[in-house]
Structure formats: C-alpha cells, structure tokens
Chains A and B, each alone.
Chain A
Amino acid sequence: MSTSFDKFQKRKLISSYFSVTISIALVLFLLGTLALLILNTQKLVNHFKEQVAVTVYLKETAKETEIDQLQKSLALADYTKSAEYVSKDEAAEVLMKDLGENFVEFLGDNPLQNSIDIHLKAAYVTPEQLADIALEVKGNTFVDEVSYDVPLVTLLNDNVKKISYGILIASSIVMLIAVLLINSSIRLSIYSKRFIIKTMQMVGATKSFIRRPFIATNIKLGIVGSIIAIAVMTAIMSFLDQKYPELALLQDVQMVSFIFGGIFIFGILISWLSTFFATQRFLNLRTDDLYY
C-alpha cells in the first residue's frame, strides 16, 4: 500500500517538475528562434547593402598605369569588398544585352566610359560615408565622375532602421513574456510548498538554508529545459539546412554557438532569479498571511 502511495507521490513530483521544465524549454526555444531570426536578418541586410555598386567613371585620357594603380588602391581600401575594372567595350556589351539592340552601330560610336565598379562592405553603405568615399576618389585628376544610386542607399538605410526598431520591440516583448511565463510557473511550484517552507522556518532554519535546495532543483530544471530547447532548435535548423542550403544556417559556427550559449545561460539565470524571488516572497510572509 505504501509503495503505491510512494509511486503516486513520485509521479506527482515528476509531473510538476515536468511542466516547469517544458515551459522553460518552450520559452527558451522561442527566444532562440527569435535570436536566429535577428542575426539572419542582419546577414540579409548586409547582403543587400553589399549589392550597392559605386561606379567610378574614368576620363578618356587616363593612362593604363594610373587606372591600374587606382584599381589596386581601391581594392585594398578598408571599405572595399571588391573593385573591378570594366572597360567601355565590356560595358557596351552588357548594355547591348540589356537593350537588345546594337546601339554602337546605331550611334556610330561607343559613348560609354571605362570604369571601376566598387562593391562596399555593408558597414560603409550609408549616405554620409558614401559621399566621403566618392569625394576622395574624385580627387584623382583622371576620374571623370563617381556615381551611385543615392535614393536607393537612403531608402535602404531608412528601411533597415525601421526593421531594426521593429525587431527590437518584438524581441523585448517576447523577452518579457519569456520572463513572466517562466517566473509564474516556478512561482506556482514554490507556492505549492509554502507551508513546508513555513514549517522549515519554524524549526530554526535560516532563509538561505531553506532557499538553497529550491534553487539547486530549479537550476537543474533550467539546465534540462535549455538542453531540450537547444536540441529542438538543432533538429529544426538541420532540417531547414537540408531543405534550404542557401540559408547556410549551420555554417556560421560562431553565431550558432552564441545563440546556444545564450539560451543555456539565460535558462540558468532566469530559473535562479525566479526561484530566489519566489522563495523570498513566502519566506517573508507571516504564517497567517499564507492562507490568503
């Protein structure tokens, strides 16, 4: 008879641990997914920014050595991702393909100029920095004109700002929900033991002595929860990686380990703090207040 009761007790205990662990795992999973989204948005934004081309048009009079030197120095500059020389013949060919019409024959001459196409690193694609770079390059006497899509760059920067704010707000809301959910499930599990906590105080145990096993248990649950969250995320990410290899989800080891490490640490931290404050609350109540 006693064994069946023991089993029942144990099952009750396990199921209460189980629900706390699951709620921690779910919330951490949500947070991790959001972090993944944010970091990948950053990648996507950078990808778009690096598509912006700055074209340096060269004068007809420019010597080959001068062009060569400029191209090399541009290629070596901090802000450059790639710098490529495009001769006016090459440019004409590309344009002819785009227009579907042989305009050189039509005009009797190739009106295009030799140029260098620069693709910048994402961090330098802002209206101000682009203007500076253009000015600097224009300082060379053999450069005729530096051209780039000013409205596009402005638009890109504005939109990125808007999107970042949106993501920031969304993630703070999710973060808040995460903290509240984990906190309330831990608090419930401790609420159910409030009379035990009171009894422990009655026999002369100090607050920190009573709190210690609760914190140890819940940190363990936090660790298990974060491991579950990480496992689920790994499964989903490797599935996505197989389906859409172009996302390169698992290639960025640094990012993935950052997210997983963050989940782990957050899981421990939140369960620790929640337990601390929940136990503190019941430790500070007088016996009569426990019944309300």
Chain B
Amino acid sequence: MSETILELNSVSIFQKESLVLSDITLAIDKGEFVYLIGKTGSGKSSFMKTLYGDLPLTQGSGNIVGFDLRTLKEKEIPFLRRKIGIVFQDFKLLPDRTINANLEFVLRATGWKDKSEIERRISEVLDKVDMKTKGFKFPHQISGGEQQRVAIARALLNDPELILADEPTGNLDPQTSVEVMKVLKDINAAGRSILMATHDYALLLKYPSKTLKCDGSKVFEVVQKSA
C-alpha cells in the first residue's frame, strides 16, 4: 500500500504568465483518498489540469501513474488520460449521444474492439454507480446527480489507478452530493486512489480523509480536528 502514484517536487503552476501555485511538493500513495480544498480562484482547477496534461508543467518535476509530467509529449497525453479517470464539475458527457454510446465512445477510443466485451464492461461500470437501467437515455434527459454518476462510471471504464475529480459535487444539491460521494468512497474502498478537489466542507466533515489546502499560492496538508 505504499506505492506512490502521484509525486510532485517543487512544482510551480502558471496560468498563462501569471503564477498560480508555487513550490508544491506532495505524494499520493496507491489507495489513498485525498481532498484538495481551497477558495475559488486558489488554483485547484489549474492544479488538476496540470495533472491530466491540459496545462504543461514548466517548473519542477512530477510523476503521475508512471508518466513524467515534465517531459510529457503531446502524443502521450491521450495515453496518460487512459490511466487516470477524470470527473468534472460540469460532467462533460457528450450531449449528442446516449449514455451507452458515451461509454462506448470511450472504450472504442481506447482500443476496445469486441462488441460483446464492450457491452459487458458498460453494464459493469453502470452497475457500480447504480445507473444500469438508464443507459438508453441522453445526458439531458437525466438529472445532474445521475449525469455525474455516469461521468464517474466513464472514469472507471479503463480501470484507472487514479481518479481525479474536479469539484464533482459542485453542481449538485447536498443530498445528491452525498450519493455521489458514496460512490466515490466505494471506488476508493475497492483500492483506487482518488484526488478530489472540492470546496464542500460539509463533505469533508462527513467523510474525513487526508486533506490538502490551496491558499496563497501554496499547497499544504491540513489536519482535521475530529474524525
């Protein structure tokens, strides 16, 4: 359980020319559940974007699921993203196709060919998020919480070692947030690491775990008072 899955060494993150976060050094081990908290604009999203290759790492060194972020080539980015699952605040499902087709797209894009295996995998991940009966619907036909659960199912398709969740409950009401959180916790219990950016402190209190805080262009670990 001490295998490191994400490691950053004195990393600085820039949005265009302006410095957002500086001198980040952290490590996440396999199977850990880590919160990343901070006010809006504190650089949580930029931090996440750097991790999945949407922002280039220009200062410091970083290693994520076996990829060196500093020397990451444009061509390698798709393959990095196959090894991490990403969950967004605004779900980012493909609006022009059904839930099943959304998941099928990801599988086909990542090299799955066999039709029956694809179907099996889709029903497997939908079952995990309890959405098995809604596969024929379009994203706009289901609720926000359901969409987010589908997005989590999508992140699970290729059995990633690390799931990056960028404010997954940001657009959801408290009750739905708890449901989504439960799904994430279950996945974590199954052995996957999760890094979740959030500003929903209620969730932190309800599901306490290792917590990193972005503040004043620094990232540091905070210790929760009660468990």
Binding site for B on A (CB under 8 A): 2, 5, 9, 196, 199-207, 209-210, 286-288
Contact = CB atoms under 8 A, between A and B. Distances in A.
B107 to A, nearest CB: 10
Nearest to A287: B54
Main secondary structure of the interface of A (DSSP, over half): helix
A173 B82 CA distance: 47
Contacts of A210: 109
A204 B81 CA distance: 5
A288 B48 CA distance: 13
Contacts of B47: none
B95 A206 contact: no
A206 B78 contact: yes
Interface residues of B, number: 27
Contacts of A204: 78-79, 81-82, 106, 109-110, 158
A196 B106 contact: no
A202 B52 contact: yes
Contacts of B86: 202-203
Contacts of A203: 81, 86, 105-106, 109-110, 154
Most buried by B among A2, A199, A210: A199
B141 interface: yes
B134 to A, nearest CB: 13
B109 A196 contact: no
B92 interface: yes
A286 B94 contact: no
Interface in B41-79: 49, 52, 54-55, 77-79
B173 interface: no
Nearest to A205: B109
Contacts of B3: none
Nearest to B141: A2
Given A205-B78, A286-B54, A200 B109 contact: yes
User: Which 7 A-B pairs have CB atoms at the shortest separation, nearest pair first?
Assistant: A205-B109, A204-B81, A204-B82, A199-B92, A206-B78, A203-B106, A204-B78
Contacts of A202: 52, 54, 81, 86, 88, 92
B121 to A, nearest CB: 14
Interface in B87-117: 88, 92-96, 105-106, 108-110
Given A199-B92, A199-B94, A206 B54 contact: no
A207 B79 CA distance: 11
A33 B52 CA distance: 52
A201 B106 CA distance: 10
A207 B77 CA distance: 10
A200 B105 contact: yes
A196 B95 contact: yes
Contacts of A205: 78, 105-106, 109-110
Given A202-B92, A205-B110, A286 B55 contact: yes
A207 B78 CA distance: 8
Contacts of A5: 140
A145 B141 CA distance: 94
